[in-house]
Structure 1
Amino acid sequence: MPVSEDEQAAAALRLMEVARRSPEFAREVAEWVRDAGWLAPRAVPAVAPEASRPQMLPPVTAAFTDREDVIAWITEVLDGADPSGGAPAIAVLTGAGGIGKTAAVVRCAYALRERFPDGVLFVDLAGASVGTALPPSDVLARFLERLGVSPDRVPGDEARQRDLFRDCMADRRMMVVLDNANTEAQVVPLLPASAGSLVLVTSRYRLGRLVSEHGARPFVLGPLSTVDSVRLLRRVVGSRRADAPDAAVQAVAEAAGGVPLALCTTGAGLAVREHLTWERVARQLSERIQGPGQGQGPSGGSGGGSDPVRQAHDASYGELTAECAAFYRALAVWAWPTVTVMCAALAADVDEGRARELLEQLARVHLLEEVGEERYRFHDLVRAHAHELAVAEDGHGRMSAAVRRVAVAHLRFAAELDCRVMPLRWRLGPAYGGLVLPVDRDPADGKHALAELRRERENLAAVVRAADQYGFDDLVWQLCEAMWGLHLLLGFHAQWIDTHLLGVEAARRRAEEFGDRRAVGRMLVQLAFAYMGVGRADDAAEALAQAVAADEACGHRRGQASAVEALGLLRLKQWRYVDAQRCFEEAREILGRIREGDDGWRDVPRATALLEHHIGRAQTKQRDFTAALARLNDALVCFRRLPGGGDAYNEGRVYMSLGEMHLDAGDPDLARVCLDKAVKAMEAAGAGLQLADVFESRARCHRLAARQAEAVADLRTAAAYYEENGDRVGAERIRAGIAELED
């Protein structure tokens, strides 16, 4: 067996050479690649005309002032980099919170982006604290998607994501902006191995290992001068305010300490409040600087001593109405990645119309930043200020109630969408009670629902963590259940594991307190699928063993069957086809012990159909084609007999498996008949990526039958479906196949 990287590379090249000569073997190699993942192809050629060239920079602020020295320094770093060294130029900008690192680096990136024709990647790493910092895996998944990799093709584990990212970036000239890093460990996996690229990193912390081990150049950003502080203040306030005495403006600027966040917050308050005078603001800030006895902050203390950012936030908070102040505090009960109108309304217990108005009020005075349509974000220092006030003025009881309102609403939201994404799957939890889908719903409704879940996935994960922190175990595991469709179809394995570890423990605690004991096994099975996605087979097997035991202990046969079925899918991934078949047959036997009226009995027909399909797949892999054909045909019959007109999507999946079986058996004509039916089923379901797979398989049928023109036509159709569904990896692979055929 090939063990070293060189041996594996040589084996891979040999397999690919044989596959090019043998269409039958090519299909087998493609399946090995898909299952094992260790021969992942380059997602997008580095400089191909169709390569994705992302432009992810956020807008630059119109009030930006000074920092020419930063632009000059970064240009110097870039010009001094060794283009033959195989590493990008790395510049690390450090400084206190609110000092303007993000604004400076974004302004520099815009100034230099013409030098990077292959695009710019940007991410806020949320590294103000360890608890909020994004894991590298989440960032790599985001970057890979923007580089043209379909989400379902992104590897599950961080190491393979990193390798694919570096492969995608190879020979490109790109800029990567990593804002607000917490540690070097957050940054290193995101470094491309491309000498033509530039990496800009900002952090409040010294990242010495980047300097010592990766050749980064450091720069410490200091406060603005008084002259530039005055200039920034006047830009933020605008020309519509009456001219103020220079002395008053300078006093405000000096009180803000040259910190851009404090200057912008203070200036925004002056810009929107005509009654607020420069002299009054200067006096408020001065009183806070002088400490106790000279002026009190809104929370009853000194207002933060000499911290200019805290002083500015105290001053802005003091000018809010009582309603808006309470709203401001309510938004900060948890570190939501973004604050939506729904989240804000529930946290503050107001209607959504009023929430929109109050969000806009806070954005106008620079206490919130609008980052998308009806989507806002706190600067982490502002949120810390609001959270401190919430603890002091509202207490744990009100904060806990706010978190529960947000969590309950997000559970309803996610459960409804999950039901639309996978309407026929069996579910646990009262959140699904009463959910009914319209009979005539749009075939693309599931796809739209999945897109909505994806947009909110980071907020949903934050809601799981918040509910766990505040002790709402009933909501924690149900939220995980409601995210099953999202994770099963799109991955995001790091988040999946993180949330479902909480889900397992929450379900166990609830079971001890007379909760739903079935939830323990359910969470463990879902966690096992996450482990499978990142190649942690032993962890997956252990979780499934625990799931079987938990479901057996509470007499939940439907859950037990699901756990044994999942173990069979794990064995299938490990190419242990005989063991996989045994697991599927055992799961079917467990289903057979469920009687009418028992828990889960309504789902038995569909679950049985799925197991018939799995057994047929396992038999195909063992080349027992006669038995496989019988099983797969039985699965077709089972799916057709399901209530509500059957399960057309899974019928199509079975036809795909039948086509693959006939191809393996050397009968391309029968394979084509099955794949034609799979095409119709997937077209009816609107399943774009599956359609691409079907057309690609059908092209193999044509090649085996020497129908070159038909093969090219099907490959072109497959490429179009891959492209339409954002899978540029698949599209590029198909184009390469077309080029070979046409040559």
Structure 2
Amino acid sequence: MNADPLVRNEVGGTVHGPVVQAGRIDTLTVAAAVPAILPDSRPPRLLPPPAPHFTDRQTELARLTALLDTPDEDPAPRVVVLTGTGGIGKSATALHFAARLRDRYAGGQLHADLRGDTTATAVTPSTVLVRFLRALGVAPPYLPADEQEQIDWYRTLTADRRMLAVLDNAHSAAQVLPLLPTGPGSLTLVTSRRRLDGLVREAGARVIQLPPLGPADAALLLTRLSGRETPGADEAAAVTRRCGGLPLALCMAGERLAVRTHLTWQQLERDMATAAAPSDEPGTDPVTAAADTSYEDLGPDAARLYRLGGLRPWPALTAPAAAALAGVTEPEAAALLDELAAVHLLEEHTAGRYRYHDLLRAHAERLALRVDGPARSAAAVGRLLRHHLAAAAAADARVMPGRWHLGPAYDRLPPDPRTAEQATDWLLDERENLVEAVRTADEYGLDELTWQLCETLWSLFLRNGFHQDWLATHRLGVRAAARCPAVPEVEGRMHAQLGFALKGLGRLDEAERAFTAAAEADRRCGHRRGEATAVESLGLVRLEQGRYEEAEACFRAAEDLTEDPRARALLAHHRGRALSGRGEHAEAAATLELAGRLMADLPVPDPYNQARVLTSLGQAALAAGDRERAARVLAEAAERMAREKAPVQDAEIAELRARAAATPAERRAFLTEAATLHERLGSPRGAALRAALEATETTDTTEAPEAPEPSDG
């Protein structure tokens, strides 16, 4: 049983997109092609827990509270930027404030780490918007690929909600502006080392500069973290002076005291003074000095993991990843991660997922290059890349077991007890790490790892979007494949997968060029299966462009390249759709009936695609003006599809049945069914169908609006 709302195509083992194109309504005109608030969706709750030992910031909280409590006739949402130097506690302050204020925001709370330490690590607005739209209840098949459409949907979905958003570690105003919720009374807390003056201009943001903690509060934080009695004034002053009032340095110092029970305040201060002494090493700031003293206390295995983990800006380290990096077992790696978190050299931002403050990552990287050297450092990165490749291949194979794969990572995979949904969740959790893995493999010149990692991302990107990540990774994959002549079929594969990313973004001319390049590359190396995939995909682009005759020619050419029965059945289905688009109704019906027979004769039944063929046959009957036959065929399609748990297709069939309805009452019933399904999925078509349904109340005609042209199914 195929429970996924996407259509699997075994010519190339690919899966094509949803029947209703996200963000586009073909034949019904509505005010905005965006989904309404989903009736069954719960307000998102994405805020991480606040730091347990948060201290002070009462002045800044009072300023923020006063801003929110001041009567204001302007209903515009509020934006506050918390800014300050690295290690000043911006993230902790934002989460503390958010926890104090969350009850004011019943519409939900959002959170994203924008990773704005550098231009290279900063995430795109599109990447965050996909997460936010999913959290707001939009089903993956309806997530728009185009960033501007994502912004439009997000603004509409938040327009009537009073929401709280925390956008941490922003790089620029341009990165933040698309992510601001638009509901009256909403609040966005932004943290950044930069002032982000563009937010002041464009969104009326208020800027709050965070100063270092004063001596009394710094001593209080040290006491809370260390678990010791309040030190004397001189002792506290000496340590806090070394920490510069920076909460990050104070946390490392306080937790060092907690771990080393025999360490005195005086010795701590002397150790930090020694670490801060002039040397050839860059950076003698308080954070570096505190990190040096904490690092010196680590056992050799923990110290090694700390160093090696900082070699790349990994979004998260998990126990399996750390085990590969350090060459230890997973239980040992978990214990080492806990040890590093205990002295504040790592932060456990969610259960089992650890990350560096960027200042500490830079400190760890310097140590790795000095202690481990370039060769051992590169070997450690290679181990982690191979771990990510193996884990991603296993998950991808579990999500889409029927597709064909390239690369040795898929050979002899062990049995996977996870469900497809669990494997998908793993890929979503690890997406940022896997994207970083592709970038790292490319920078290290590891071309075979680069393209293989791209191959493992296929099911993740195809089913969940993240098109900007898809483009970025697969452009690197295309380059890497061109440098791997020993595996010639890879070049066509990477071009084809890049083509699907471009197609999803609606960049059809670029997609056509990518699929053409894929077909040429596969033809040169005699890879008929890959060539069939590329030619078929080119036909799907032309089908979407309305170039039906050229599309049919592509599908016939793909048929000549494959003997696989299932592939030929699917290609017959595509040809039938192209013929219907050309108005060749009789030939279209005959071809779709042939596709149905080919599907029925397959050695492994495919009831899902049998129902899809019936859907296309019913649509062709409607186009030919034969409502009676359309109603009969679509009733059978609905019965079969209901068993496949594919709500996207259920909604499409209900729309088509409304067009084939014999009475106004039947039409209203089918429109109601279709509208309800679309609304539950977050589809923009729900609003259009509700408008059509209201129109039926004032007329007795059975003329229904045209259903959308089926896309790649």
> TM-score by structure 1 length?
0.84
- Unaligned 5+ segments in structure 2 are 1-18, 699-713
Q: 2:489 aligns with which of 514, 518, 521?
A: 518
Q: 2:620 aligns with which of 652, 661, 664?
A: 661
> For 1:206-227, what per-residue CA distance to the aligned partner results, in whole angstroms no more than 9, with x for missing partners?
3122223433222221111011
Query: SS of the residue aligned with 1:177?
Result: strand
Closer/same/farther in 2, CA of residues 111 and 447 from structure 1, 3 Å limit: closer
Correspondence for 1:628: 588
Correspondence for 1:649: 608
Contact map agreement 1:140 1:162 (CA 8 A) in 2? yes
1 CA distance for matches of 2:570 and 2:193? 52
Closer/same/farther in 2, CA of residues 669 and 339 from structure 1, 3 Å limit: farther
Closer/same/farther in 2, CA of residues 430 and 605 from structure 1, 3 Å limit: farther
1 CA distance for matches of 2:629 and 2:143? 33
Contact map agreement 1:698 1:714 (CA 8 A) in 2? no
Range with bigger deviation, 412-421 or 465-474: 412-421
Correspondence for 2:339: 361
Matched, 1:328 2:306: yes
Query: SS of the residue aligned with 1:457?
Result: helix
| TM-superposed deviation, 1:312 | 0.9
> For 1:298-357, what per-residue CA distance to the aligned partner results, in whole angstroms no more than 9, with x for missing partners?
xxx56832x011111111101001111011112222211111111111011111111111
Contact map agreement 2:322 2:333 (CA 8 A) in 1? yes
Contact map agreement 2:474 2:498 (CA 8 A) in 1? yes
Contact map agreement 1:120 1:176 (CA 8 A) in 2? yes
Q: 1:506 aligns with which of 435, 455, 480?
A: 480
Which structure has more relative contact order (CA 8 Å, sep 6+)? It is 2
2 CA distance for matches of 1:172 and 1:28? 27
Greater helix fraction, Structure 1 or Structure 2: 1
> For 1:190-219, what per-residue CA distance to the aligned partner results, in whole angstroms no more than 9, with x for missing partners?
234444322221111231222234332222
> For 1:360-417, what per-residue CA distance to the aligned partner results, in whole angstroms no more than 9, with x for missing partners?
1111111112222322222222222111211111122222222222222222222222
Matched, 1:103 2:92: yes
Contact map agreement 2:23 2:144 (CA 8 A) in 1? no
Correspondence for 2:141: 152
Correspondence for 2:504: 533
Correspondence for 2:708: none
Correspondence for 2:33: 41
| TM-superposed deviation, 1:235 | 1.4
Query: SS of the residue aligned with 1:338?
Result: coil
> TM-score by structure 2 length?
0.87
Closer/same/farther in 2, CA of residues 482 and 727 from structure 1, 3 Å limit: same
Contact map agreement 1:265 1:313 (CA 8 A) in 2? yes
* Counterpart residue type for residue 369 of structure 1: E
Q: 1:59 aligns with which of 37, 44, 49?
A: 49
Contact map agreement 2:220 2:230 (CA 8 A) in 1? no
| TM-superposed deviation, 1:43 | 2.3
Correspondence for 1:639: 599
> For 1:6-57, what per-residue CA distance to the aligned partner results, in whole angstroms no more than 9, with x for missing partners?
xxxxxxxxxxxxxxxxxxxxx9999961699998633234xx8756422222
Matched, 1:473 2:469: no
Correspondence for 1:142: 131
Closer/same/farther in 2, CA of residues 93 and 728 from structure 1, 3 Å limit: same
Correspondence for 2:369: 391
Closer/same/farther in 2, CA of residues 402 and 736 from structure 1, 3 Å limit: farther
Query: SS of the residue aligned with 1:62?
Result: coil
Contact map agreement 2:672 2:690 (CA 8 A) in 1? no
Contact map agreement 2:83 2:193 (CA 8 A) in 1? yes
* Counterpart residue type for residue 235 of structure 2: A
The number of residue pairs the alignment matches comes to 680
Correspondence for 2:385: 407
Matched, 1:304 2:283: yes
- Unaligned 5+ segments in structure 1 are 1-26, 293-300, 592-600
| TM-superposed deviation, 1:139 | 0.8
2 CA distance for matches of 1:314 and 1:31? 52
| TM-superposed deviation, 1:125 | 0.4
| TM-superposed deviation, 1:283 | 1.2
> For 1:106-160, what per-residue CA distance to the aligned partner results, in whole angstroms no more than 9, with x for missing partners?
2222333333332222211010111111111101111111122122211111111
Matched, 1:215 2:182: no
Query: SS of the residue aligned with 2:483?
Result: helix
1 CA distance for matches of 2:195 and 2:177? 14
| TM-superposed deviation, 1:624 | 2.5
* Counterpart residue type for residue 595 of structure 2: A
> Where do 1:561-572 residues align within 5 Å?
561-572=532-543
| TM-superposed deviation, 1:712 | 7.4
Closer/same/farther in 2, CA of residues 35 and 669 from structure 1, 3 Å limit: closer
Matched, 1:427 2:405: yes
Contact map agreement 2:30 2:687 (CA 8 A) in 1? no
Identity %: 44
Contact map agreement 2:23 2:33 (CA 8 A) in 1? no
* Counterpart residue type for residue 448 of structure 1: Q
Correspondence for 1:594: none
Closer/same/farther in 2, CA of residues 51 and 253 from structure 1, 3 Å limit: same
Query: SS of the residue aligned with 1:97?
Result: coil
Closer/same/farther in 2, CA of residues 716 and 525 from structure 1, 3 Å limit: closer
> For 1:622-658, what per-residue CA distance to the aligned partner results, in whole angstroms no more than 9, with x for missing partners?
3333222222222233334444x23333223223323
* Counterpart residue type for residue 518 of structure 1: E
Contact map agreement 1:696 1:718 (CA 8 A) in 2? no
| TM-superposed deviation, 1:266 | 1.4
Matched, 1:448 2:426: no
> Where do 1:672-711 residues align within 5 Å?
672-679=631-638, 681-682=640-641, 684-695=643-654, 697-698=656-657, 701=660, 706-707=665-666, 711=670
2 CA distance for matches of 1:667 and 1:224? 78
| TM-superposed deviation, 1:567 | 1.5
Closer/same/farther in 2, CA of residues 244 and 501 from structure 1, 3 Å limit: same
Q: 2:461 aligns with which of 473, 477, 487?
A: 487
Contact map agreement 2:657 2:667 (CA 8 A) in 1? no
| TM-superposed deviation, 1:90 | 2.1
1 CA distance for matches of 2:136 and 2:388? 30
Range with bigger deviation, 331-340 or 645-654: 645-654
Closer/same/farther in 2, CA of residues 528 and 637 from structure 1, 3 Å limit: same
Query: SS of the residue aligned with 1:33?
Result: coil
> Where do 1:551-630 residues align within 5 Å?
551-591=522-562, 604-630=564-590
Contact map agreement 2:23 2:149 (CA 8 A) in 1? no
Contact map agreement 2:109 2:165 (CA 8 A) in 1? yes
Closer/same/farther in 2, CA of residues 637 and 275 from structure 1, 3 Å limit: farther
Matched, 1:253 2:240: yes
1 CA distance for matches of 2:663 and 2:429? 43
* Counterpart residue type for residue 304 of structure 2: A
Contact map agreement 1:347 1:405 (CA 8 A) in 2? yes
| TM-superposed deviation, 1:229 | 0.4
2 CA distance for matches of 1:171 and 1:57? 20
Contact map agreement 2:114 2:123 (CA 8 A) in 1? yes
Contact map agreement 2:126 2:147 (CA 8 A) in 1? yes
> For 1:64-113, what per-residue CA distance to the aligned partner results, in whole angstroms no more than 9, with x for missing partners?
1111222222234445685447x432222211111011111222223333
* Counterpart residue type for residue 273 of structure 1: R
Q: 2:253 aligns with which of 255, 259, 266?
A: 266
Contact map agreement 2:572 2:591 (CA 8 A) in 1? yes
Query: SS of the residue aligned with 1:274?
Result: coil
